[in-house]
Amino acid sequence: MIPRRTFLTTTAAASVLAQTGSIAESNDATDNRTIRVGVMGLGRGLQLATDLAALPNVQVAYLCDADLKRVAAGQKTFQDKVGRPSEGVQDFRRILDDPSIDAMVCAAPNHWHAPATIMACKAGKHVYVEKPCSHNPLEGEWMIAAAQQYKCCVQMGTQRRSSPGTQEAIAKLHSGVIGKVHLSRCFYQSLRGTIGKVADSQLPADLDYELWQGPVPRRPYRSNYVHYHWHWFWHWGGGELANNGVHGLDLCRWGLQVDYPVRTVSSGGRYWFDDDQETPDTQIVGFEFPDRQQITMNSMSCNKRTVDYFCAFYGSDGTLELDGDGRYKIFDKNDKLVEVSGQNNGGQMEHLTNFIQCVRTGRPEELRQPIVEAHKSTLLCHLGNIAQRTGRTVITDPANGHILNDNQQSALWSREYHPDWQEAVSMP
């Protein structure tokens, strides 16, 4: 249950914001005041914490994880790399209760991304949330509403949006370098092993599993859930498509300048191991958009053979291939190589810098990946998984991405929440 003190504190902050209409803003773009940040989730979050601490006038005040072993290890790593300490906490609501905190990073498991973001906005904190921004489509819409209502900067961690080379490549696409772009393809390959078949397990002494589950309905603990394999269970994650596919899909959608699809299809399944995993290890998803444009995503979890690019764009006058670090190649319509870029920068430091500057200035409209755009890209993952889980084509409204005329598919637009958390994590 949410502690009464924390709930009242968060509710009070939300009430003040509702009356004032915004977090205290600065209109001075040169404002260099110190930004205090708390980081939730110390897997990916630990890298983000050390990178944030390298930025001028940024203080990482809290490192948080539901597993106290990870808190202690994260504090040591942070101290060793950064040269100064950060307070370790197990409950992220300690971050929300601290009025000196400007922003929170949410790098916890997917089922926490939207709930923690919404709670942070209600408490008056800006949020850098890891990808995918939500566990289901409705959560993405709630996140947009929370960011707008409480006037918070909410940025998703698809850092390639801030890569100089990627920005250059996309600008060339939009200028017509390969003509009208009809198709974009993206790929992800990895070499993941089996997670086995595991019965209900004894809880580790340092893990607050009740808090780790947080807003979602309860399931008994199993040792092959925590800390990473939750990705492969629908209750917590969204498989490879949501885990890494969102990076490529975001670039494809950006390059094609499209928003919501009209049709989504998925093919694949669990081909490699007979174990507890539920999500596909092999999947191809296709999205059709208005004006005769298409995106495809091809993912393999258990074979690492790769193509030499991250995503590719096919136009009436040629092709552009883009890797994950901002390098690209352009070919003419006869497949002759005509341009090569040598840039090598994935964009993470630029993405974090952009977020911090927008926090300082109070200008969410200047975010490189604001929650409105983040939701559109994450929604593609959700629609692909809904097509996969129901075994049918998903037909959607191109105005908002909502599913049309299929009650079974529409039921996957949202999820149930634990009653103790329902009010805190949802929006009206």
Per-residue pLDDT tens listing for the chain (428 residues): 444 333 333 433 333 333 333 333 444 544 789 999 999 999 999 999 999 999 999 999 999 999 999 999 999 999 999 999 999 999 999 999 999 999 999 999 999 999 999 999 999 999 999 999 999 999 999 999 999 999 999 999 999 999 999 999 999 999 999 999 999 999 999 999 999 999 999 999 999 999 999 999 999 999 999 999 999 999 999 999 999 999 999 999 999 999 999 999 999 999 999 999 999 999 999 999 999 999 999 999 999 998 889 999 999 999 999 999 999 999 999 999 999 998 899 999 999 999 999 999 999 999 999 999 999 999 999 999 999 999 999 999 999 999 999 999 999 999 999 999 999 999 98
Nearest to 225 by CA among 216, 215, 213, 214: 213
Residue 169 CA to residue 406 CA, distance in Å, equals 38
User: Helix crossing, 44-53 with 68-82: angle to 10°?
Assistant: 30
Residue 348 CA to residue 355 CA, distance in Å, equals 11
* Global confidence as pTM: 0.92
Report domain extents, the chain: 4-160+350-370+418-425, 165-196+223-342+377-413
Query: What does the pLDDT read at residue 25?
Result: 42
Query: What does the pLDDT read at residue 293?
Result: 98
User: How far are the Cα atoms of 45, 78, 220, 304, 346 from residue 53, in angstroms, in the given order?
Assistant: 12, 9, 37, 34, 18
What is the architecture of the domain spanning 4-160+350-370+418-425?
Answer: 3-Layer(aba) Sandwich (3.40)
Residue 132 CA to residue 110 CA, distance in Å, equals 7
Task: List, as one string, the DSSP characters of 15-70.
Answer: HHHHHH-SS-----TT--PPEEEEEE-SSHHHHHHHHHHTSTTEEEEEEE-SBHHH
For 145, the 3-state DSSP assignment is: helix
Residue 225 CA to residue 248 CA, distance in Å, equals 26
Cis upstream peptide for 419 (omega within 30°): no
Query: What does the pLDDT read at residue 330?
Result: 98
CA-based radius of gyration for the chain? 21
Q: With the C-alpha atoms ordered 355, 119, 28, 34, is the resulting torsion angle positive or negative?
A: negative
301: which residues sit within 8 A by CB, 6+ positions away? 190, 192, 240, 272, 280, 281, 282
Nearest to 285 by CA among 238, 227, 327: 238
What is the architecture of the domain spanning 165-196+223-342+377-413?
Answer: 2-Layer Sandwich (3.30)
Query: What does the pLDDT read at residue 54?
Result: 98
Q: Tell me the residue ranges of DSSP E strands in 238-363.
A: 263-269, 282-289, 293-300, 311-315, 318-322, 328-332, 337-340
Which single residue is written with the structure tokens 């089996």?
A: 194
93: which residues sit within 8 A by CB, 6+ positions away? 2, 3, 6, 10, 119
Between vectors from CA 63 to CA 206 and to CA 23, what angle results, nearest 5°? Answer: 135
